[in-house]
Chain A
Amino acid sequence: MTKAKKKHLIYNLVIFALVIGAYVLLQNMIAAKTITRSLKGQLIPICAWIIMAVSLNLVIGFSGELSLGHAGFMSVGAYTGAVISGWLLNAFAMENTGLRLAIAILAAGLIAGIIGLLIGIPVLRLRGDYLAIVTLAFGEIIRNLVNVLYIGTANGKLYFSFLSKDLPADVTILVDGAKGAVKIKPISTFTAGFILVMITLIVVLNLVNSRTGRAIQATRDNRIAAESMGISVTRHKMIAFVTGAVLAGMAGALYGLNASTVIPTQFTFNQSINVLVFVVLGGLGNVLGSIISATFLTILPELLREFADYRMLVYAVVLILVMIFTNNPVIRSVFMRMFSPVRRLFRGRESQQGGEAA
């Protein structure tokens, strides 16, 4: 085993250990009933946001493309999950919630992946700002499309209608235009969320450390040099983009099937920016950072409820302070000295990333 490989291995093991540790701790708290309702209610959304942040990090941090339409894939996943779950219940009277959840999540990942592929073909030929603008537009297009989409189910069949609610009278409505996906039976569980986070981590960490992953990072660092080495830039960017879309779709299904209703306005451009904030705050190309910042920033507004109406103001201030502190060389060095044994493991890794980790 080479030195670099060993470093990756230890880094990955630290991440897995932390995630598994957090899961075991929380499960114990749930069993002992020492957890507050407030925190318990946030566990599944936190899992979903972690997956969103890690998958967006793959696109932005590792393949270096600024995608602003990530919430679009999440909404595709949330809607697909709701429709598939409702349809399975109607068609096969499938009462097994675990199986239904698994099928819904897989279907959501598949559909989001196909859409990611279709979007990626024209979009990934663009660079920089243009790509950002087009992905932004894509997110808005998805939102406006689901706004006029009506889906119902009856007798094991799915009925689709577009622009007007033109469905047979006896159908159970699953998606009701601007009213969003309605009457979802919440079936997501924290354990399912945890498993999905683990799958995401395994996929992303393995991809990043693989030959393909190194090629993806090469296209990010220097497009021309990578091309001259015979790396197909579009193909590798596509791999990162579609993988990100699949994972975001799965996160969407987990998120949607946790609530009893989902509306298009939950997945606006603002939501994409929100995930971008998770990624930037955690550090571009830093998977552990994404996990921590997604968790922290999801819980933070709830911890700040004491400030009532001023809490988003305080949230913004905290965000700025974190940005300043994590970038302050003095504070960084204090942190680094505290974690110097861990740091020694990562030193090589940090210089590889060209100081991009915030």
Chain B
Amino acid sequence: MKKLLALVLAMVMTLTVCAAVAEEETVTLKIAHIGPTTGPAALYGLATLHGAELAAKEINEAGGKYRIELIAEDDEHNPEKVINAYNKVLDDGAQMILGTTTSKPCEAASAQGYVDRVFFLTPSASSTAVIEDKDNAFQVCFTDPNQGAASAEYIASHKLGTKIAIIYNDSDVYSTGIRDSFVAKAAELSLEIVSETSFSTDDNADFTVQVADAQNAGADLVFLPMYYTPASNILNTAAAKNYKPVFFGVDGMDGILGVEGFDTSLAEGVMLLTPFVATSEDEKVVSFVTKYREAYNEDPIQFAADAYDGIYILVEAAEKAGITSEMKFDEVCDPMIAAMQEISYEGLTGAMTWDESGAVTKTPMAATIINGIYVFED
């Protein structure tokens, strides 16, 4: 028994010495990823988690000044559970948070973080409420109004349609947020909206009524601010009615080509506003997509790319702010906020800078689906 104890003690001491030696050379950043890895929004939480894991692995293998220790917790896409996950990661010693993945939980968690002084960089929570009235939250993705307004501007400047129909999900924050800003911007640009219909998350299988309304109103462009699953149903319904307007989507449309049992030829000519497409020939994107496929056996969606960029952005900001391994989350927060406004980062999803509001500045890009792949417009 004594021998065993001595052995254990010796091992612990060696480890401590090793750790001490290692710490002199490198800085370990404890970054928490919070997102829904189970439940209905798991697709997005897993994508951001995988993106973050990939970036952390790359950084650790490259062996530079920084090491990343990723702490992952599940929030189930629930504003109550997210607070539990948030408290858990802080208990576990997280210094900053990459997350949370989805808008509503992020709004709750970053508000709590504002009180406790915790730094948040969300890869994909796009509602304005996430960053409004608090200085501790920053976004990698566009805000919803940004997307809606940018879509309206793109449609107006490229003269894609004169009579516009909108179909949106009225029970979803993401969808209604984009729809509201699109309608406001469209009025400003005097785009004519001839039909506006909605559906809810519980009832997204049959779109006959909505599509017929757009068709009867003679719309030549249908704006679809929603995720890709209902969008694929809408395209199916429109094809059955032999109705062929221009379909214009936003970043949630990314992934439509991967829907099981969906005839991808129906998506031909669909346009979408997205900062990232997996088929891009950009060197960084190609390398990311290859590694992602190797590790997870699937194509990355935009959320994964956002989180991948997010980890690199955090490291860059941490370097600027001079974060060390020993700093606590409340000591990390303010230097990180200052650093975020100084850095610029060129990642998979474009060249990004931030202002004090926490919103990102990057150029929106519209892609068109041609022959089953995304092609970027100018």
Residues of chain A whose beta carbon lies under 8 Å from any beta carbon of chain B: 36-38, 40-42, 45, 144, 147-148, 165, 177-180, 182-183, 186, 259-266, 301-302, 305, 308-309, 311-312
Name which of B170-178, B205-213, B344-352 contacts chain A: B170-178
Q: Is the CB of B74 within 8 A of A42?
A: no
Contact A182:B38 (CB < 8 A) given known A259-B83, A265-B171, A305-B88: no
Contacts of A311 in B (CB 8 A): 74
Contact A36:B171 (CB < 8 A) given known A180-B104, A260-B108, A262-B79: no
Give Cα A294 to B170, complex, Å.
Answer: 33
Contacts of A266 in B (CB 8 A): 78-80
Nearest-CB residue, chain B, relative to A41? B87
Q: Is the CB of B84 within 8 A of A42?
A: yes
Give Cα A179 to B173, complex, Å.
Answer: 5
Q: Is the CB of A38 within 8 A of B108?
A: no
Question: What is the minimal beta-carbon distance from B17 to any residue of chain A, in angstroms?
Answer: 29
Give Cα A165 to B180, complex, Å.
Answer: 9
Contacts of A38 in B (CB 8 A): 84, 87-88, 91
Give Cα A312 to B38, complex, Å.
Answer: 9
Give Cα A177 to B83, complex, Å.
Answer: 23
Question: What is the minimal beta-carbon distance from B173 to any residue of chain A, in angstroms?
Answer: 5
Contacts of A186 in B (CB 8 A): 111-112
Q: Is the CB of A260 within 8 A of B171?
A: no
Q: Is the CB of B129 within 8 A of A261?
A: yes
Contact of A309 among B74, B91, B104, B173 (CB under 8 A): B74
Q: Is the CB of B87 within 8 A of A308?
A: no
Contact of B129 among A42, A45, A147, A182 (CB under 8 A): A182
Question: What is the minimal beta-carbon distance from A129 to any residue of chain B, in angstroms?
Answer: 23
Contacts of B37 in A (CB 8 A): 308-309
Q: Is the CB of B176 within 8 A of A178?
A: yes
Assuming A147-B200, A312-B38, what are 18 further A-B pairs, CB within 8 angstroms?
Answer: A36-B87, A36-B91, A37-B87, A37-B88, A37-B90, A38-B87, A178-B170, A178-B176, A179-B127, A183-B133, A186-B112, A260-B108, A260-B111, A261-B104, A264-B171, A266-B80, A301-B81, A309-B74
Give Cα A186 to B72, complex, Å.
Answer: 26
Contacts of A179 in B (CB 8 A): 104, 127, 129, 173, 176-177
Question: What is the minimal beta-carbon distance from A32 to any residue of chain B, in angstroms?
Answer: 16
Residues of chain B from 108 to 139 with CB closer than 8 A to chain A in the complex: 108, 111-112, 127, 129, 132-133
B53 lies within 8 A of chain A by Cβ: no
Contact A260:B112 (CB < 8 A) given known A40-B87, A178-B170: yes
Contacts of A305 in B (CB 8 A): 73-74, 88
Nearest-CB residue, chain A, relative to B78? A266
Residues of chain B from 61 to 114 with CB closer than 8 A to chain A in the complex: 72-74, 78-81, 83-84, 86-88, 90-91, 104, 107-108, 111-112
Q: Is the CB of B129 within 8 A of A183?
A: yes
Nearest-CB residue, chain B, relative to A312? B38
Q: Is the CB of B79 within 8 A of A263?
A: yes
Give Cα A305 to B107, complex, Å.
Answer: 22
Question: What is the minimal beta-carbon distance from A291 to any residue of chain B, in angstroms?
Answer: 19
Give Cα A308 to B86, complex, Å.
Answer: 15
Contacts of B74 in A (CB 8 A): 305, 308-309, 311
Q: Is the CB of A302 within 8 A of B79?
A: no
Give Cα A178 to B168, complex, Å.
Answer: 12
Question: What is the minimal beta-carbon distance from B296 to any residue of chain A, in angstroms?
Answer: 15
Give Cα A186 to B73, complex, Å.
Answer: 24
Give Cα A38 to B37, complex, Å.
Answer: 19
Contacts of A262 in B (CB 8 A): 79
The 9 A-B pairs of least Cβ separation, nearest first, read A260-B111, A37-B87, A41-B87, A38-B87, A38-B88, A179-B173, A261-B107, A178-B171, A37-B91
Q: Is the CB of A41 within 8 A of B84?
A: yes
Question: What is the minimal beta-carbon distance from A266 to any residue of chain B, in angstroms?
Answer: 6
Nearest-CB residue, chain A, relative to B85? A305
Contacts of B111 in A (CB 8 A): 186, 260-261
Show 15 residue pairs from A and B whose CB-CB distance is below 8 angstroms, ordered by the A residue: A36-B87, A38-B84, A38-B88, A41-B86, A41-B87, A42-B84, A147-B200, A179-B173, A180-B104, A183-B129, A183-B133, A261-B111, A262-B79, A266-B79, A302-B88
